[in-house]
Structure 1
Amino acid sequence: MPFPWLSASILFPIAAALVIPFIPDAGDGKRIRWYALGITLITFLITVGAYLNGYDPAVEGLQLVERVQWLPSLGLAWSVGADGISMPLILLTSFITSLAALAAWPVTFKPKLFYFLLLLMDGGQIAVFAVQDMLLFFLAWELELLPVYLLLAIWGGKKRQYAATKFILYTAGSSLFILVVGLAMAFYGGGTPSFEYTDLMAKDFSTKFQLFAYAGLLIAFGVKLPIVPLHTWLPDAHGEATAPVHMLLAGILLKMGGYALLRFNVQLLPEGHAQFAPLLVVLGVVNIIYAALTSFAQRNLKRKIAYSSISHMGFVLIGIGSFSALGTSGAMLQMISHGLIGASLFFLVGATYDRTHTLQLDDMGGVGQKMRKMFALWTICSLASLALPGMSGFVSELMVFTGFVTSEAYSLSFRIVMAALAAVGVILTPVYLLSMLREIFFGKENAELASHTHLVDAEPREIYVISCLLVPIVGIGLYPRVMTDTYRASIEALVQRETTALAKVIQPPPGDLIRQPLLSAPALPA
Structure 2
Amino acid sequence: MIDISESVMQFLLALIVAGPLVGAAAALLPAPPGLKGKSPDQAVLRHGIVVTGAVLLAAIVLVLGFDHSRPARMQATTNLHWIPALDIRIHLGVDGISLPLLVLTALLTFLCALYSYFKMPAGPSPKAFVALLLVLESGTLATFAVLDLILFFLAFEMVLIPMYFLIARWGGAQRTRAAWKFILYTLLGSVVMLLGLLLIGLKSGTFDMVALATDNGRGLTTSVQVTAVLAIAAGLAVKTPMWPLHSWLPDAHTAAPTVGSVLLAGVLLKMGTYGFVRIALPIAPEGMHTFAPYLAAFAVVGIVYGSLACLSLARKGNNGDLKRLIAYSSVGHMGFVLLGIASMTPTGVNGALFANIAHGLITGLLFFLVGALKDRYGTADLDTLAGATGAALYGSAPRFGALLAFGAVASLGLPGLAGFWGEMLTMFGAFDPAEGLSRPAFLTFMAVAGFGTLLTAAYLLIVVRRVCMGQRRANAGPVADVQGYEFAAWTPLVALTVLAGLWPAVLLGLTDPAVQKLLAGGKS
Q: TM-score, normalised by structure 2?
A: 0.90
Deviation at 1:59, TM superposition (A): 4.0
Pick aligned residue for 1:2 from 4, 7, 32: 7
AA partner of residue 319 (structure 1): G
CA distance in 1 between counterparts of 2:191 and 2:152 reads 13
Q: Are the aligned partners of 1:57 and 1:485 in contact in 2 as well (CA < 8 Å)?
A: no
Q: Residue 111 and residue 186 in structure 1: after superposition, are their counterparts in 2 closer, same or farther (change >3 A)?
A: same
Deviation at 1:451, TM superposition (A): 3.7
Q: Are the aligned partners of 2:430 and 2:443 in contact in 1 as well (CA < 8 Å)?
A: no
2:62 matched residue in structure 1: 50
- 1:326-353 CA-to-partner distances (Å, cap 9, x unmatched) read 1111111000000100100000010000
1:390 matched residue in structure 2: 416
AA partner of residue 324 (structure 2): R
Check if 1:319 corresponds to 2:340: yes
AA partner of residue 123 (structure 1): S
Q: Residue 57 and residue 256 in structure 1: after superposition, are their counterparts in 2 closer, same or farther (change >3 A)?
A: farther
Q: Are the aligned partners of 1:103 and 1:243 in contact in 2 as well (CA < 8 Å)?
A: no
1:175 matched residue in structure 2: 190
The worse-fitting range, judged by mean Cα deviation, of 405-414 and 28-37 is 405-414
Equivalences for residues 136-147 of structure 1 within 5 A: 136-147=151-162
AA partner of residue 16 (structure 1): G
Check if 1:490 corresponds to 2:497: no
AA partner of residue 181 (structure 1): G
Q: Are the aligned partners of 1:103 and 1:347 in contact in 2 as well (CA < 8 Å)?
A: no
Deviation at 1:28, TM superposition (A): 6.5
Equivalences for residues 287-436 of structure 1 within 5 A: 287-298=302-313, 299-365=320-386, 366-367=390-391, 368=393, 369-407=395-433, 409=435, 410-436=437-463
Q: Residue 242 and residue 94 in structure 1: after superposition, are their counterparts in 2 closer, same or farther (change >3 A)?
A: same
Q: Residue 16 and residue 71 in structure 1: after superposition, are their counterparts in 2 closer, same or farther (change >3 A)?
A: same
Deviation at 1:61, TM superposition (A): 3.0
Q: Are the aligned partners of 2:71 and 2:510 in contact in 1 as well (CA < 8 Å)?
A: no
3-state DSSP class of the match of 1:58? coil
Deviation at 1:386, TM superposition (A): 0.6
AA partner of residue 136 (structure 1): L
2:22 matched residue in structure 1: 15
CA distance in 2 between counterparts of 1:71 and 1:228 reads 37
1:479 matched residue in structure 2: 503
Give % identity.
Answer: 35
The worse-fitting range, judged by mean Cα deviation, of 483-492 and 433-442 is 433-442
AA partner of residue 184 (structure 1): L
1:209 matched residue in structure 2: 224
Deviation at 1:443, TM superposition (A): 3.3
Equivalences for residues 234-273 of structure 1 within 5 A: 234-273=249-288
CA distance in 2 between counterparts of 1:198 and 1:259 reads 15
Q: Are the aligned partners of 1:363 and 1:446 in contact in 2 as well (CA < 8 Å)?
A: no
Q: Are the aligned partners of 1:178 and 1:216 in contact in 2 as well (CA < 8 Å)?
A: yes
Q: Are the aligned partners of 1:270 and 1:498 in contact in 2 as well (CA < 8 Å)?
A: no
1:514 matched residue in structure 2: none
Deviation at 1:412, TM superposition (A): 4.8
CA distance in 1 between counterparts of 2:278 and 2:196 reads 14
CA distance in 2 between counterparts of 1:125 and 1:112 reads 20
AA partner of residue 227 (structure 2): F
3-state DSSP class of the match of 2:90? strand
CA distance in 2 between counterparts of 1:173 and 1:273 reads 22
Q: Are the aligned partners of 2:15 and 2:58 in contact in 1 as well (CA < 8 Å)?
A: yes
2:316 matched residue in structure 1: none
CA distance in 2 between counterparts of 1:7 and 1:354 reads 38
AA partner of residue 449 (structure 2): A
CA distance in 2 between counterparts of 1:310 and 1:16 reads 33
Q: Residue 167 and residue 131 in structure 1: after superposition, are their counterparts in 2 closer, same or farther (change >3 A)?
A: same
1:465 matched residue in structure 2: 489
CA distance in 2 between counterparts of 1:210 and 1:411 reads 20
Q: Which runs of 5+ in 2 are unaligned?
A: 1-5, 314-319
Q: Are the aligned partners of 1:57 and 1:488 in contact in 2 as well (CA < 8 Å)?
A: no
2:3 matched residue in structure 1: none
Q: Residue 15 and residue 441 in structure 1: after superposition, are their counterparts in 2 closer, same or farther (change >3 A)?
A: same
Deviation at 1:5, TM superposition (A): 1.8
CA distance in 1 between counterparts of 2:427 and 2:498 reads 20
The worse-fitting range, judged by mean Cα deviation, of 273-282 and 128-137 is 273-282
Deviation at 1:138, TM superposition (A): 1.1
- 1:440-467 CA-to-partner distances (Å, cap 9, x unmatched) read 22235468xx5444x2111111122221
Q: Are the aligned partners of 1:274 and 1:498 in contact in 2 as well (CA < 8 Å)?
A: no
1:503 matched residue in structure 2: none
2:86 matched residue in structure 1: 74
- 1:9-51 CA-to-partner distances (Å, cap 9, x unmatched) read 0111110110112243565621112111111111011122222
CA distance in 2 between counterparts of 1:63 and 1:114 reads 33
- 1:306-325 CA-to-partner distances (Å, cap 9, x unmatched) read 00111001111111111321
CA distance in 2 between counterparts of 1:129 and 1:321 reads 20
Q: Are the aligned partners of 2:236 and 2:272 in contact in 1 as well (CA < 8 Å)?
A: yes
Pick aligned residue for 1:104 from 116, 123, 142: 116
Q: Residue 57 and residue 93 in structure 1: after superposition, are their counterparts in 2 closer, same or farther (change >3 A)?
A: farther
AA partner of residue 13 (structure 2): L
Q: Which runs of 5+ in 1 are unaligned?
A: 500-526
CA distance in 2 between counterparts of 1:446 and 1:304 reads 25
Equivalences for residues 447-466 of structure 1 within 5 A: 451-453=476-478, 455-466=479-490
AA partner of residue 466 (structure 1): W
Deviation at 1:424, TM superposition (A): 1.5
Q: TM-score, normalised by structure 1?
A: 0.90
Backbone CA RMSD of aligned residues: 1.9
AA partner of residue 131 (structure 1): V
Deviation at 1:121, TM superposition (A): 1.0
3-state DSSP class of the match of 1:230? coil
- 1:471-526 CA-to-partner distances (Å, cap 9, x unmatched) read 11101111100111111111112233499xxxxxxxxxxxxxxxxxxxxxxxxxxx
The worse-fitting range, judged by mean Cα deviation, of 277-286 and 383-392 is 277-286
Q: Are the aligned partners of 2:343 and 2:434 in contact in 1 as well (CA < 8 Å)?
A: no
CA distance in 2 between counterparts of 1:29 and 1:50 reads 32
CA distance in 1 between counterparts of 2:380 and 2:368 reads 13
1:196 matched residue in structure 2: 208
CA distance in 2 between counterparts of 1:57 and 1:231 reads 39
Q: Are the aligned partners of 1:65 and 1:82 in contact in 2 as well (CA < 8 Å)?
A: yes
Q: Are the aligned partners of 1:270 and 1:497 in contact in 2 as well (CA < 8 Å)?
A: no
Q: Residue 262 and residue 446 in structure 1: after superposition, are their counterparts in 2 closer, same or farther (change >3 A)?
A: farther
